[in-house]
Structure 1
Amino acid sequence: MQNQLGTTPEAITHSMADAMRMTGDGCTERDLLLRGFTRQEILRHGDAAREMALASSSSSIRARVHARRAA
């Protein structure tokens, strides 16, 4: 059975960033542990995943605001 969270550092980081976005503001280490990430993965990939999640959610917000103005 393949790990759904990823097996490469890039895949784990992307999965963790997705989990952070889905959880929303206030995502904690416990939230990530409950989603199947290990403490070691959180320590190793957490910072990069947080940056990725923030960058992605910022671009989504800009796109949504822009769409509202156009309507």
Structure 2
Amino acid sequence: MKVGDLVRWNEKVCVVTEIYESKCWRTNQHGAKINWASIETEPFVRILVGDGDVRGVPQADIEVISESRG
């Protein structure tokens, strides 16, 4: 995955604008009590959604539709 790729997130087509590492607390795996020190970072992407909305989401939550050529 790279900047410029088209991806699908929540049934919306989006464009990847940045790739970075962050943490995501998943309550279904770790429970409701948050302990950031107990989890590792994971790959995230910043995506452009719809009419200018920018979101940061885990790469595991998106699907690549079309890879950019650049």
Q: So what's the TM-score if we normalise by structure 2?
A: 0.23
Q: Bigger relative contact order, structure 1 or 2, given CA contacts below 8 A and separation 6+?
A: 2
